[in-house]
A and B are shown apart, each in its own frame.
Chain A
């Protein structure tokens, strides 16, 4: 089955710097790669996603890149702010019997220091 690895597990940056989180996946049949942000005490929330027919997608300070050949994708946050501090999860979608399973990475805890 699909396996998603995420690095680093913890990332600390200074406010205004950029942050990059990287993920690799194992199943070449996966075709959708979302990123979720989880704030303390809450459930994860989708912040950006990318489909396999696209190499890059941007939404203001957030961008995601995908390399299908190498089977890895990355989240880039520019001009980080304290409110970006959270746990970020990458994921890959795997089609299964009757529905779709989302396989998550282990998460990256991002600290943005003011």
Chain B
């Protein structure tokens, strides 16, 4: 394992509340990613980071924001959760350089009621 953890692993929250998911890696990887996984859609990129304080949008970034204040942590925030954001969220990280392999965390199952 590449030493990637996610917290919490499960969360139930109400519509309209803010939610923050945390990703922590101990590999000193430069790149970090947030995906959501939904049936029939596979993994869709929400946001990614290519360094501390450097982030960019992915395919499905509306309603989400991210922050990366240090190399090992990448936070995903749902400013005001909606039922359409019920999903399984995966964080991943990648070395700098020529390697394209991403290492995934175990996922966070989020339910918005």
Q: Chain A contacts of B79 at CB under 8 A? A: none
Q: How far is the CA of A100 from the CA of B100 in the complex (A)?
A: 8
Q: How far is the CA of A32 from the CA of B102 in the complex (A)?
A: 13
Residue of A with least CB distance to B94: A100
Convert A80-107 into 0s and 1s, putting 1 for each residue whose CB lies closer than 8 angstroms to a CB of B.
0000000001000100111111111111
Residue of B with least CB distance to A42: B106
A28-48: which residues lie under 8 A (CB-CB) from chain B?
A: 32, 34, 36, 41-46
Q: Chain B contacts of A43 at CB under 8 A? A: 4, 90, 92, 104-107
Q: Does A98 lie within 8 Å of B101, measured CB to CB?
A: no
Q: Does B104 lie within 8 Å of A34, measured CB to CB?
A: no
Q: Does B56 lie within 8 Å of A99, measured CB to CB?
A: yes
Q: Chain B contacts of A9 at CB under 8 A? A: 40
Q: How large is the interface on B (under 10, 10 to 19, 20 to 34, 35 or more residues)?
A: 20 to 34
A interface size (C-beta, 8 A):
27
> Assuming the A-B contacts A103-B45, A104-B44, are A44 and B56 also in contact, with contact meaning beta carbons closer than 8 angstroms in the complex?
no
* Most A Cβ at <10 Å: residue of B50, B56, B100: B100
Q: How far is the CA of A6 from the CA of B50 in the complex (A)?
A: 28
Q: How far is the CA of A27 from the CA of B25 in the complex (A)?
A: 31
Across the interface, B56 reaches (CB within 8 A) one of A98, A102, A104, A105, namely A98
Q: Chain B nearest CB: distance from A96 CB in Å?
A: 7
Q: Chain B contacts of A107 at CB under 8 A? A: 42-43
Q: How far is the CA of A93 from the CA of B33 in the complex (A)?
A: 13
Q: Chain B contacts of A102 at CB under 8 A? A: 33, 45, 100, 102
Q: Chain A nearest CB: distance from B23 CB in Å?
A: 11
Residue of B with least CB distance to A96: B56
Q: Does B101 lie within 8 Å of A99, measured CB to CB?
A: no
Q: How far is the CA of A99 from the CA of B74 in the complex (A)?
A: 16
Chain A residues within 8 Å of B, Cβ to Cβ: 1, 6, 9, 32, 34, 36, 41-46, 49, 89, 93, 96-107
Apart from the given pairs A6-B42, A100-B94, 16 other A-B contacts in the complex at a CB distance below 8 Å: A32-B100, A34-B100, A41-B106, A41-B107, A44-B90, A97-B56, A98-B50, A99-B50, A100-B100, A101-B48, A102-B100, A102-B102, A104-B44, A106-B42, A107-B42, A107-B43
